[in-house]
Homo-oligomer: A and B are copies of this chain.
Amino acid sequence: ECAWLCDLWPCDRLKNTNVRVSLPAVCFVWQIAMIVLFGVFVRYDKESDAHWVELKKTENLTDLDNEFYFRYPSFQDVHVMIFVGFGFLMTFLKRYSFSAVGFNFLIAAFGLQWALLMQGWFHHFDYSTGKIYIGIESMINADFCCAGSLIAYGAILGKVSPVQLMVVTLFGVTLFAVEEFIILDLFHCRDAGGAMVIHCFGGYYGLAISWVLYRPNLHRSKRLNGSVYQSDLFAMIGTLFLWMFWPSFNSAIANHGEGQHRTAMNTYIALASSVLTTVAISSMSKKGGKLDMVHIQNATLAGGVAMGTAAELMITPYGSLIVGFCIGIISTFGYLYITPFLEERFKLQDTCGIHNLHAVPGMLGGFTGAIVAATASESVYSKEGLIATFDFTGKFENRSPGTQGGFQAAGVCVAMAFGLVGGAIVGFILKFPIWGDAADDNCFDDEAYWELPEEEETIPPVLEYNNHMTQQKHRET
């Protein structure tokens, strides 16, 4: 059906996974560009600059007033989620674990640098000095920004080259910074844990890329598109670090004090709830009530995604439980029925099922946040609590919770639109046959991009044994 595309894009040429020129070139050139741009634009903010020692005296601050102490423990948890969480979650494939954890490492390391710049230009640019001032909050936001591209990696896992992943990240971070600017700054939405800006955007971005890169003959790599016992255990390391630290993820940039406190607690509760419904649906769906590791590794996390916006708000503890309850069911159903349906009917190959873990829970989480925001009241939040929670200050002083809810809902649509349109465009760019991606029968294979160690146990020498038996027989006769 997409044959007309092949006229435009020569997608049928022989695939060649040699990246010996392109990968070093991309790494070197982009890293040098980072150095130059950092040199021109990036400086320490006032809380990480040595001048703070004087500022502390003039403003009568204590050491603990430094933002570092409010955010650093959460930052480290988020950092673990980005590198160990996302990295190991994708190691479930039997022969793609090096690429899962290694390329995740590479693109996150690049993405966070580019994010410091992009988010700096859009959010923290000081027009008087022409500089971006960075601190601990910039580091958390840079990690968040990477997450969007790492989610997208989940959809195309095993089917793209590291060079393509760098391109995905370059555009992913760029698009992220723009949609985040629209949603958080122009629409003045609340989205502490990024249900909209991270998960909804990242999910649809990855799905759109994967849809454009559809491989009709991917079944030729079917032998490698599955897990083994040990790889599922490595993936559980990723799952658990994501699950455990999700309260930190959602609360990392929430308001000081009760804001961070409530966000962490709501997320903690919702995640617990989604574990039980995931197990329930998984068990119901299989003969003998056996559980499926794919569900346990993924759908248990949907509670954290779905609380990305609402966790900061007064959703109540039982409200959090309900969100976790529903999203656990929806996400597991997605793995059971929607992902196969999308692949068969919409030609959408989604290796990790990010549709069910990020795209849909992110979208629903965004709408949940919109509803909770729209129903906010002074009796529940207190007058000052309402202003502080939604930052109804400055030109947003007179915004009502109802209006806020409307903007929150609009934010979800912006995130989806950026994901889908941006992903489609990036997908077309990646169809160029210059990126070193594998042929359809070599997907999901580390062999293409890694020097692999020899096998531990050599195959039993059946052939030798054969010869030996034949000789014996000759002797016998």
- Verify if A113 is at the interface (C-beta below 8 Å from B): yes
List which A242-290 residues lie within 8 A (CB) of chain B: 243-245, 247-248, 256-258, 260-262, 264-265, 268-269, 271-273, 275-277, 279-281, 283-284, 286-290
A122 interface residue (CB < 8 Å to B): no
- Which residues from B are CB-within-8-Å of A236? 87, 101-102
Residues 25-51 of chain A, each 1 if its beta carbon lies under 8 Å from chain B, else 0: 001101110111011001110011111
In angstroms, Cα B449 to Cα A292, docked, is: 9
Mind listing 21 A-B residue pairs with CB under 8 Å?
A21-B289, A23-B289, A24-B280, A28-B277, A28-B280, A44-B317, A48-B258, A50-B388, A66-B258, A66-B260, A66-B261, A68-B257, A68-B260, A109-B300, A113-B321, A134-B317, A229-B456, A230-B456, A291-B449, A459-B460, A469-B469
Q: Are B42 and A318 in contact (CB under 8 A)?
A: yes
Contact A136–B289 (Cβ < 8 Å): no
Contact B39 A106 (CB under 8 A): no
> In the complex, what distance in Å separates the CA atom of A288 from the CA atom of B382?
63
Contact of B28 with A76 in the complex, beta carbons under 8 Å: no
Contact at B27–A450, with CB atoms within 8 Å? no
Q: Helix, strand, loop or mixed for chain A's interface?
A: helix
Considering the chains assembled together, what is the distance between the CA atoms of A48 and B35 in angstroms? 42
Which residues does chain B contribute within 8 Å of A232, judged by CB atoms? Answer: 98, 453
Please pick, from B18, B110, B262, the residue contacting A272 in the complex, using a CB distance under 8 A. Answer: B110
Q: Does A94 contact B (CB under 8 A)?
A: yes
Residues of B within 8 A of A455 (CB): 228-229
A474 → chain B, closest Cβ, in Å?
Answer: 10
Q: Is the CB of A18 within 8 A of B288?
A: yes
Is A345 in contact with chain B by the CB < 8 A criterion? no
Q: Which residues of chain A in 334-373 are interfacial with respect to chain B, using CB atoms and an 8 Å cutoff?
A: none
How far does the Cβ of A159 sit from chain B's closest Cβ, in whole Å?
18
Q: Across the two chains, which residue of chain B brings its CB closest to A452?
A: B229
In the complex the two chains form, is A73's CB within 8 Å of B70's CB? no
Q: A23-B279, A381-B51 are in contact. Are A316 and B43 (CB under 8 A)?
A: yes
Q: A21 — which chain B residues lie within 8 A by C-beta?
A: 289
- Surface stretch bound by B, among A1-9, A56-64, A405-413: A56-64
Determine whether A428 belongs to the interface, using a CB cutoff of 8 Å to chain B: no
Which residues of chain A in 106-149 are interfacial with respect to chain B, using CB atoms and an 8 Å cutoff? 106, 109-110, 112-113, 116, 134-136, 139
